[in-house]
């Protein structure tokens, strides 16, 4: 969707951290984001992520330029789904742009567009992989690595769980699984679509069927940097209640 933010509204300086509370017109933007995304289900966050804030700022943070988190900037944020390390990851994520940056392209690839040899797909559909926790989470103690297949579900609308940096074959010696991951990474680049987010753009993606990434951009840390707000959505109120509190601390 485009043009969600009225042109005569001015926003404060770009938030300095993902967990910074939204005030004034920025709070209006956060309410707009939740008002639209609530139509898809229950907006939520994890207790362990960015202080558990329902609406988080996707902003560059000094010292985090090259991390694989939303706080990165000069470094590429590589292909991932939100929270692939969790069974209770969101069904959808919504990103509202308050301040764009012409060099930062959001990239998306749909699992249904992936074209791979049938043998490779068969390997990716087996639970031969594990994924480490996302470094943006502050977790209580050691989280066990989740075992998972990369692809699952129907052929016509396959699901994907993917994180380029935190995913590996369970068995280090499993060359077939490692090869399948390499083929998949190559294919994602081929089927990717790009979109440079502009002020007022709201992008909602299916986190179970789409992987996403963001290209590098320069951060100035002077209050004028790129600023997106994000919320994650659980697609059904019933499922939301079944999961209960996500990562109790
Ligand atoms: O900044 C973006 O376009 C996406 C950020 C993102 O993918 C994330 O925070 O996980
Ligand atoms: Fe992301």
For residue 116, give the nearest of 183, 178, 211 by alpha carbon: 183
- Which amino acids bring their CB within 6 angstroms of ligand 1? 58, 70, 77, 82, 106, 212, 214, 228
Which two structure tokens, joined as six digits, stand for 144? 């066990």
In this structure, the strands spanning 42-44 and 159-160 are unpaired
| Ligand 1 nearest-atom number relative to CA 70 | 9
Would you call 6 helix, strand, or coil by DSSP?
Answer: coil
Ligand nearest to the CA of 95: 1
Which helix or strand (DSSP H or E) is residue 229 part of? Answer: strand 227-234
Which two structure tokens, joined as six digits, stand for 61? 């943070």
Which two structure tokens, joined as six digits, stand for 7? 């042109």
| Ligand 1 nearest-atom number relative to CA 228 | 1
**Contact indicator for 82, 207 with CB cutoff of 8 Å:** yes
What's this model's pTM, rounded to 2 decimal places?
A: 0.95
Q: What integer pLDDT is reported at residue 135 of this predicted model? A: 86
Instruction: Measure the CA–CA gap between 26 and 9, rounded to whole angstroms.
Output: 10
Q: Within the chain, how many helices (H) and strands (E) appear?
A: 4, 14
Q: How confident is the model at residue 35 (pLDDT cuts 50, 70, 90)?
A: very high
Instruction: Measure the CA–CA gap between 24 and 22, rounded to whole angstroms.
Output: 7
Q: How far is the CA of 118 from the centre of ligand 1 (A)?
A: 31
Instruction: Measure the CA–CA gap between 103 and 212, rounded to whole angstroms.
Output: 16
Express each pLDDT in 106-154 by its tens digit. Answer: 999 999 999 999 999 999 999 999 999 888 999 877 787 889 999 999 9
**141 dihedral zone (left: phi>0; alpha: psi -120 to 50; beta):** left
**Contact indicator for 135, 71 with CB cutoff of 8 Å:** no
For residue 46, give the nearest of 130, 166, 139, 146 by alpha carbon: 139
Q: What integer pLDDT is reported at residue 82 of this predicted model? A: 97
What domains does the chain contain, in order, with CATH numbers? Answer: 24-243 (3.60.130.10)
Ligand nearest to the CA of 50: 1
Q: How far is the CA of 69 from the centre of ligand 1 (A)?
A: 7
| Among protein residues, the one whose CA lies closest to atom 8 of ligand 1 | 70
Q: What integer pLDDT is reported at residue 249 of this predicted model? A: 56
Instruction: Measure the CA–CA gap between 101 and 143, rounded to whole angstroms.
Output: 35
Q: How confident is the model at residue 197 (pLDDT cuts 50, 70, 90)?
A: very high
Instruction: Measure the CA–CA gap between 186 and 22, rounded to whole angstroms.
Output: 39
Q: What integer pLDDT is reported at residue 246 of this predicted model? A: 81
**Unique residue bearing structure tokens 């910074």:** 20
**Unique residue bearing structure tokens 């991951």:** 181
């Amino acid at each position: 969707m485009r043009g969600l933010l009225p042109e005569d509204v001015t926003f404060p300086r770009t938030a300095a951290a993902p967990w910074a509370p939204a005030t004034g017109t920025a709070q209006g933007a956060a309410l707009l984001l939740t008002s639209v995304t609530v139509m898809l289900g229950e907006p939520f966050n994890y207790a362990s992520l960015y202080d558990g804030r329902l609406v988080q700022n996707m902003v560059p943070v000094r010292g985090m330029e090259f991390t694989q988190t939303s706080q990165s900037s000069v470094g590429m944020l590589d292909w991932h789904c939100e929270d692939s390390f969790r069974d209770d990851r969101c069904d959808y994520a919504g990103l509202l742009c308050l301040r764009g940056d012409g060099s930062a392209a959001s990239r998306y690839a749909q699992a249904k567009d992936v074209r791979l040899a049938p043998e490779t797909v068969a390997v990716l559909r087996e639970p031969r992989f594990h994924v480490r926790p996302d470094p943006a989470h502050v977790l209580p103690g050691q989280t066990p690595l989740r075992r998972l297949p990369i692809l699952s579900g129907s052929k016509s609308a396959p699901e994907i769980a993917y994180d380029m940096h935190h995913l590996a074959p369970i068995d280090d010696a499993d060359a077939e699984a490692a090869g399948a991951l390499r083929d998949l990474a190559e294919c994602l680049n081929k089927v990717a679509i790009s979109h440079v987010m502009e002020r007022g753009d709201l992008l909602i993606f299916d986190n179970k069927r789409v992987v996403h990434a963001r290209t590098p951009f320069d951060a100035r840390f002077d209050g004028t940097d790129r600023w997106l707000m994000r919320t994650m959505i659980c697609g059904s109120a019933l499922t939301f209640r079944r999961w209960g509190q996500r990562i109790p601390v």
